[in-house]
Structure 1
Amino acid sequence: MTRTLFTNATFWPGQAKGQTFGAMLVDGQKIVAVGDQAQSAAHDKKVDLGGAFVSPSFGDGHCHPIFGGRQHFGPQVTDIASVDEILAEVKRFAAANPDLPWIIGGTYDPALLPNGNFDAKLLDGVCADRPVVLNAIDYHTIWVNTAALKAAGVDANTPDLEIGTIVRREDGSPMGTMREWDAVNLIMDHAPKPSLDREIEAIKYSCARYAKSGITWWQDAWIDPGMAEAYLEAEERGVLTQGVNLAFRADPRTWEKDMAYILEMRKKIESSSKNKNLTAVTIKYFADGVIEGGTAAMLEPYSDDPCSHGMPVWAWPELFRAVAAFDKAGFQTHIHAIGDAGIRAALDAIEGAQKANPAWDRRPTIVHVQLLDPADFHRFRDLGVIANFGPLWCRQDPMQAISSAPRIGPERTARQYQLRSLIDDGVLVAFGSDWPVTSEVVLEGLPVSVHRQTPDKSPAGGWIPTEKITMPEAFTAYTSAVAYQAFGEKTWGTLAPGFNADFVVLPKNPFEIDPHAVSDMSVLHTYRNGEAIYSE
């Protein structure tokens, strides 16, 4: 194996208080020496990094890359700033793809219209001859045209739903906005399923995007039947260039029946002789919805709807039973929980599993943790729960200012995304992009947790500035903290002898510049197991 000396750079080892060094020796896939020992050791090749900054490569602790890849093949409406522009893009795409039976794309910003309610008639004006489905940014809501409603048989006589909302016009007819599971599934159960080859193309596309962002491992946090099969086939064809862990979604109505399939897929993935990159050790639960849609589960009613406490996805006793059952089978718990009632239920479920089952290295994770009640604050530390945040949400963007804050009022708004407080309490904070819900670009999202501002540096001093964290802490949350969440802290996420040579090369030291300037940087190189999987 080739021994390569990387030098002339600032190497940061991967912990918030870690000391930097000036050289690193890699032998094949492993780091064998750092600092002065690396400089003085024999080597076959020397790479001068020209004064760059080197960090452990990034891990994405919560994302949906198959969805991101699927989205790539549809109309491109992400980050479009007006409804008219979205409609123009749908019209363009429909004209360019006349033989496509359904047009499915994303993601649009619900804050573009009052209450996030979009009418099917708008889409009818640009494509009426076949179903159109657009995913909202949160992936808990879709906007559809009349053809999609007709294809699914949804009309004024369709009854209201248990876990979902059909937004209706005054006459009771469906408007075209569908929120949460039952409503979304009413439509999507009739849409054609992507082929295996198309799913593999989506994975391949995601691998390339993630390599460009410096990511060498990710947690796919939403695996439904067919998706694990696509990942395994992608791995066996040599498509996967990063490590991936799969989190099977537990359905509140079918989880017991689905357990046999999940256990079989875990066994098949673990026993594949060609598999080097894929694991399947996690179960994903949705405790609730989202604040902007009024579906996050709340302890107190919504400020703009005193009759509503949101929309739990599970009956809490059933969630507790499912978490305990999968925990007993050796699966890590990964719970989406946004509202304070949803977070409390997630903590209760994890605590119940710990009491019901023998001790083991669980590493339970609650993701988003948007609105945490003070009474539950110390429970993260006491139960050993990892808090996984999407850093791009730690700012007062239109989604927050227009869609979320008015729903929960100023007191609850002021206690969102408590990163600083949780870290100070001894909680492990890890980061995940939630892509394609938000950008997967690490250097775009990571610094937001430090300055807590929009790109125009608003508001002055940052949004809820007491919850700012430092740049080294933010890097830790995207490196060694994710490695711990992934049960990989002994092999990656740290630059030290014996660890995998998984690292990212940046043009400047992010700890020494304006945090906003970090977003202007791009990754120069991404290495995994000592080989460059991306170079600018």
Structure 2
Amino acid sequence: MRFLIVVLLACVSACGAESEREPAGLALLNATIWTGDPDNPIAEAILIEGDRIVAIGSSSSIRPQIGQARVIDATGRFVVPGFIDSHVHFLDGGFKLSSVQLRDADTPEEFARRIGEFAKTVPAGAWITGGDWDHQLWGGELPHRAMVDELTPAHPVWVNRLDGHMALANSLALELAGVTRDTADVAGGTIERDGNGDPTGVLKDNAMDLVFDVLPPPDDAAYDRALEAATSHLAARGVTSVHHMGSWDTLAVVQRARDHGTLKTRVYAAVPLADWERLRDEVAKHGRGDAWLRYGVLKGFVDGSLGSHTAAFHAPFDDKPSDRGFFINTEEDLQTWISGADAAGLHVVVHAIGDRANEKLLDIFERVARENGARDRRFRIEHAQHLRPEDIPRFAELGVIASMQPYHAIDDGRWAERYIGPIRIQTTYAFQSLLDAGATLAFGSDWTVAPATPVEGIYAAVTRRTLDDANPEGWVPNEKISVEEALVAYTRNGAYASHEEHEKGMLKLGYLADLVVLDSDLTRISPEEIGNAEVVMTIVGGEIVYQP
């Protein structure tokens, strides 16, 4: 049901002296507002002028200030600061909304059927990409190119696992990429081979570049459509800001939208860590952007993923005793890049999954901070999934932000114990332990690896009930956190994680007017109901960008 929206065409008599100021754009009354502001945690009404909050408090205190404004009667609905998704692949998500959908394909036959059916809808020669398949749904056996070759003789196929750390190529795609049994293994990656030494079609991490290098790039129009699709998708889920883990190409797409005034999601845009010198020079020439598009941040990788057996652990995988994962980049390269970027005043965020990867990255962060001297650097570890107990306090000690994705816990929790055993899972997605140690948590989705739906992420952090319902009391339940702690991680801490806590992440006088209206009060409903809460309005910069 839509809100009651009233447009006041003239100032009511109660306006008094307020008629002298610029007319307010929007007034939200009779709401239950969780502001995220520790000094003023609860309110009933907000007044917005332009893109900023000019008053917040009780409905009775806001009414006399309305002037000529559009008034929204929230009828008691729950309002929070706009959700900040601290880890997305923004443009990839937009493209994948229109690609083959394999996320819930639960048998090899269904996997192949969907690819074959999708091939019938696109011209011969068109690449079939995306997919986000999960082989755990059919028992864990990796797919093989033979499964789809007969169904796609005229289409190169390059479909990725949901974590983005491995993908399946059909024989045509391998031929175009020049990948044969004679192709040498790739450092920091794996070419899966059968018993005869022939490629199965599955490539992992750095080996994926063999196909990416021949994948035709999208044109500007395709990029623009993907950005628009991603923006609309996220607005419907209450996401008003994203930290985009992207490339120079995708930064250019977002910059073009910003220049044209069409950007409706605020973007903190990362580029590859190895390019830190280029970013240093760009920032020196052009600054770090504005409230819509900010840059100055670099994204790097230590290892791969648990689901692909490429996360770097101290001990071998329980289900693959000869394997303990690997580093995608060398420790020496990471040290050089991070040190140089940090000395240049840039923001460094780095992916680490396995306990060995997290330990080494914390070691590098510690050395760089000591060598480069004190500053407000806010190093981030993206994912921080599997930690040794002794490394958990180091996050707070070093001021390292744990940028985590709670939905992964209820997804991976279905099968992670088979991979790393009952001991190591005790400090997997260690939300509560990190908070108890004084660390800062910033939450995101890793979309399209997981849904870009913050209420589902909050549900996951609060309940830790796995997707298969096998853990009704929560998977590793001692790591559950409260609703308010999860809300902070999706709002105020997300702003802190991009050095923007002084203008967003809270509903506060002078802050950006980014907010979300939900149909349920997340702090009052049962934890099991949180994932069913729906967004009924999203406002960015004082403009309604979503209303069903």
- Return the offset for 1:194: 1.3
Q: 1:464 and 1:17 mapped to 2: Cα distance?
A: 33
Hey, what does 1:199 align to over in structure 2? 223
Unmatched tracts of structure 1, length 5 or more: none
Hey, what does 2:408 align to over in structure 1? 393
The question of 1:318 aligning with 2:339 is answered no
- Return the offset for 1:71: 1.5
C-alpha offsets along residues 281-304 of structure 1, whole Å, 9 cap, x if unaligned? 111111111112211111222223
- Structure 2 counterpart of 1:132, from 152, 157, 165: 157
- Return the offset for 1:22: 1.8
Three-state SS of the structure 2 residue aligned to 1:24 is strand
- CA separation of 1:14 and 1:100: change in aligned 2, threshold 3 A: farther
Q: 2:63 and 2:405 mapped to 1: Cα distance?
A: 41
C-alpha offsets along residues 378-411 of structure 1, whole Å, 9 cap, x if unaligned? 110011111111110222x4x4433x32221111
Does the 8 Å contact 1:15/1:476 carry over to 2?
no
Does the 8 Å contact 1:143/1:176 carry over to 2?
yes
Hey, what does 1:453 align to over in structure 2? 465
C-alpha offsets along residues 309-349 of structure 1, whole Å, 9 cap, x if unaligned? 21111211221121010111111111111101100111112
Does the 8 Å contact 1:332/1:362 carry over to 2?
yes
- Structure 2 counterpart of 1:352, from 367, 389, 392: 367
Structural mapping, 1:87-486, within 5 Å = 87-181=112-206, 183-223=207-247, 225-250=248-273, 255=274, 258-266=275-283, 270=287, 277-395=292-410, 397=411, 399-402=412-415, 404-454=416-466, 457-486=469-498
Does the 8 Å contact 1:66/1:199 carry over to 2?
yes
C-alpha offsets along residues 462-481 of structure 1, whole Å, 9 cap, x if unaligned? 11110000111111110111
Aligned AA (1:317): E
Does the 8 Å contact 2:466/2:475 carry over to 1?
no
Q: 2:322 and 2:125 mapped to 1: Cα distance?
A: 43
Does the 8 Å contact 1:12/1:18 carry over to 2?
no
Cα RMSD for the two superposed structures? 2.0
- Return the offset for 1:27: 2.6
Does the 8 Å contact 2:90/2:245 carry over to 1?
no
Identity among equivalent pairs (%) = 32
Hey, what does 1:83 align to over in structure 2? 108
Aligned AA (2:50): G
- Return the offset for 1:113: 4.5
The question of 1:2 aligning with 2:27 is answered no
Aligned AA (1:135): N
- Return the offset for 1:145: 0.7
- CA separation of 1:112 and 1:22: change in aligned 2, threshold 3 A: closer
- CA separation of 1:118 and 1:358: change in aligned 2, threshold 3 A: same
Three-state SS of the structure 2 residue aligned to 1:519 is helix
Q: 2:27 and 2:172 mapped to 1: Cα distance?
A: 61
C-alpha offsets along residues 185-214 of structure 1, whole Å, 9 cap, x if unaligned? 111111111112211221111111111111
Q: 1:422 and 1:326 mapped to 2: Cα distance?
A: 26
- CA separation of 1:280 and 1:383: change in aligned 2, threshold 3 A: same
Q: 1:126 and 1:167 mapped to 2: Cα distance?
A: 22
Q: 1:17 and 1:458 mapped to 2: Cα distance?
A: 40
C-alpha offsets along residues 445-494 of structure 1, whole Å, 9 cap, x if unaligned? 22110011035643131111100001111111101110111111111111
- Return the offset for 1:89: 2.1
Three-state SS of the structure 2 residue aligned to 1:279 is strand
Aligned AA (2:299): K
Three-state SS of the structure 2 residue aligned to 1:59 is strand
- CA separation of 1:318 and 1:455: change in aligned 2, threshold 3 A: closer
Q: 1:49 and 1:333 mapped to 2: Cα distance?
A: 40
- Return the offset for 1:269: 5.6
- CA separation of 1:124 and 1:503: change in aligned 2, threshold 3 A: same
- Return the offset for 1:180: 0.9
Q: 1:153 and 1:100 mapped to 2: Cα distance?
A: 17
- CA separation of 1:266 and 1:73: change in aligned 2, threshold 3 A: farther
Q: 2:137 and 2:486 mapped to 1: Cα distance?
A: 30
- Structure 1 counterpart of 2:508, from 468, 476, 496: 496
Aligned AA (2:486): A
Hey, what does 1:25 align to over in structure 2? 47
Q: 1:331 and 1:76 mapped to 2: Cα distance?
A: 37
Three-state SS of the structure 1 residue aligned to 2:100 is coil
- CA separation of 1:451 and 1:483: change in aligned 2, threshold 3 A: same
Does the 8 Å contact 2:446/2:452 carry over to 1?
yes
Aligned AA (1:203): L
- Return the offset for 1:86: 2.5
- CA separation of 1:16 and 1:82: change in aligned 2, threshold 3 A: farther
Q: 1:220 and 1:495 mapped to 2: Cα distance?
A: 23
- CA separation of 1:95 and 1:325: change in aligned 2, threshold 3 A: same
C-alpha offsets along residues 231-287 of structure 1, whole Å, 9 cap, x if unaligned? 21222233311211111122xxxx3xx444333444566488xx6511111111111
- CA separation of 1:372 and 1:93: change in aligned 2, threshold 3 A: same
- Return the offset for 1:18: 6.0
Does the 8 Å contact 2:29/2:45 carry over to 1?
yes
Q: How many residues align?
A: 523
Does the 8 Å contact 2:162/2:449 carry over to 1?
yes
| TM-score, with length taken from structure 2 | 0.91
- CA separation of 1:17 and 1:377: change in aligned 2, threshold 3 A: farther
Q: 1:156 and 1:27 mapped to 2: Cα distance?
A: 64
Q: 1:360 and 1:466 mapped to 2: Cα distance?
A: 34
Q: 1:118 and 1:151 mapped to 2: Cα distance?
A: 20
Does the 8 Å contact 1:368/1:390 carry over to 2?
yes
Q: 2:23 and 2:539 mapped to 1: Cα distance?
A: 15
Aligned AA (2:545): I
C-alpha offsets along residues 158-190 of structure 1, whole Å, 9 cap, x if unaligned? 122211111111011001111111x10111111
C-alpha offsets along residues 413-456 of structure 1, whole Å, 9 cap, x if unaligned? 22211101111111111101100010001112221100110356
Does the 8 Å contact 1:283/1:332 carry over to 2?
yes
Q: More deviation in 297-306 or 325-334? A: 297-306
